[in-house]
Amino acid sequence: MTVIRQDSQQHLSLWLTLSKAPQLGSASARTLLECFPSIGDLFDSLRKDRSALPGNLPDETLKYLRKPAMEDLTGDLAWLEQHDQNAIVTLDSPDYPNLLREASGAPLLLYCKGDRTLLHRPQLAIVGSRNPSSGGRETAFQFAKALSLQGVTITSGMALGIDAAAHQGALDGTGATIAVVGTGLDRIYPKRNETLARDICHKGLMISEFAIGTPALPTNFPRRNRIISGLSLGTLVVEAALHSGSLITARLAAEQGREVFAIPGSIHNPLSKGCHTLIRQGAKLVETMEHVLEELPGLSRSPIDSFPVRGTSTTQAPLDNQHQNLLEHMGFDPISLDTLVERSGLTTQTVCSMLLVLELHNTIKSHSGLYTRLV
């Protein structure tokens, strides 16, 4: 199929019709399109000569393509007119990202809200648990911020946890982030990410393959994972349990010939087991941003030293030996106050006071009654 620019509403209506045809997935639709020079030729053939069409198309599909329900299109077209930020990018448009076009099962069209130029920027997917540790959330935020400052657009799924932290880190950096969502773009899911979604639309880009009005159905989210990996040069997994949806994204990335990265963690942390499995299967073990950058060719990189790492600010006095010793007692796993008091031999009051100092130095983080060392 020749890639040409066609911006008319009639042309867009043909793509919307094809995407909504019953019993016709995106892979089958692309196979059908390969038989014709353009989508216009496909619909011309539908009207004129059934013999030119593949013989295995279901009757229900053919009936819909010949006489579509126009009311199915009105919601999408009305949304398109609501704001200049709104766009529908079709598979034959130059705006469609080339990397995704190469991926198997690429969607026929993308509903977009925000800065569409990001679709053609180098991207890294960052995904992980919806219920991460405080350390995992911080790691995702810092990696996303640092990588965005190196010219990488951060792509994720706007779920709670690691996804949200990755988007927020990128927004705190250059603002270059893409959220691939599992609903229509007229809806926000989960609702707790409403402010985040607004910020992404303002500074980055939200995209979906799902029509306007599509609710948050459970089957939608595994489907959107192939777009996250398909847009990206690689996928970085930060904390994932053995049956995490993030492992689906990593598997899809590998099948699409993209790089897979994983951050290791404690052998006692269930959220590290998915990452450790990926590493055993050949994913690259990542400890620093440089481990990612050296595997991703063609990035315009600024000096890594320009990114300020938290906890190393020169405006704060260095920690004394007593605070350093408490850090050593903490280790790198989440730890409770009672366990830390027992290990250190100090009083509860003393440990509480020291933990406050360590938090102010950004060397630890507290979450749900546990403390996690960050440096």
What digits encode the pLDDT tens for the residues 260-306?
999 998 888 899 999 999 999 999 999 888 899 988 865 544 444 33
pLDDT for 21 equals 94
Render 36-84 in DSSP notation, one character per residue: SSSHHHHHHHHHH-GGGS-TTS-HHHHHHHHS--THHHHHHHHHHTT-T
pLDDT for 173 equals 94
What digits encode the pLDDT tens for the residues 49-99?
655 666 678 889 988 998 888 889 999 999 999 999 999 999 999 999 999
pLDDT for 54 equals 64
What digits encode the pLDDT tens for the residues 313-323?
334 567 888 88
pLDDT for 55 equals 62
pLDDT for 307 equals 39
Asked whether 184 and 111 are in contact (CB, 8 A), the reply is yes
Looking at per-residue pLDDT, the higher value among 244 and 360 belongs to 244
Domains and CATH numbers, the chain: 1-69 (no CATH), 116-306 (3.40.50.450), 321-373 (1.10.10.10)
pLDDT for 134 equals 83
Instruction: Lowest mean pLDDT of 39-43, 268-272, 329-333, name the range.
Output: 329-333
Compute the average pLDDT of residues 15-20.
Answer: 96
CB atoms within 10 A of CB 318: 8
Looking at per-residue pLDDT, the higher value among 28 and 52 belongs to 28
Smallest CA-to-CA distance from 129 within 10, 230, 273 is with: 273
Render 297-364 in DSSP notation, one character per residue: TT-----GGGSPPTT--TTSPPP-HHHHHHHHHHTTS-EEHHHHHHHH---HHHHHHHHHHHHHTTSE
Compute the average pLDDT of residues 144-156.
Answer: 94
Asked whether 138 and 374 are in contact (CB, 8 A), the reply is yes
Amino acid at 338: D
Instruction: Lowest mean pLDDT of 104-118, 313-327, 333-347, name the range.
Output: 313-327
Instruction: Lowest mean pLDDT of 167-171, 297-301, 358-362, name the range.
Output: 297-301
What digits encode the pLDDT tens for the residues 195-242?
999 999 999 999 999 999 999 999 999 999 999 999 999 999 999 999
Asked whether 139 and 146 are in contact (CB, 8 A), the reply is no
pLDDT at 193 over 90: yes
Backbone torsions φ then ψ of 205, nearest 5 degrees: -150, 135
Smallest CA-to-CA distance from 214 within 190, 185, 193 is with: 185
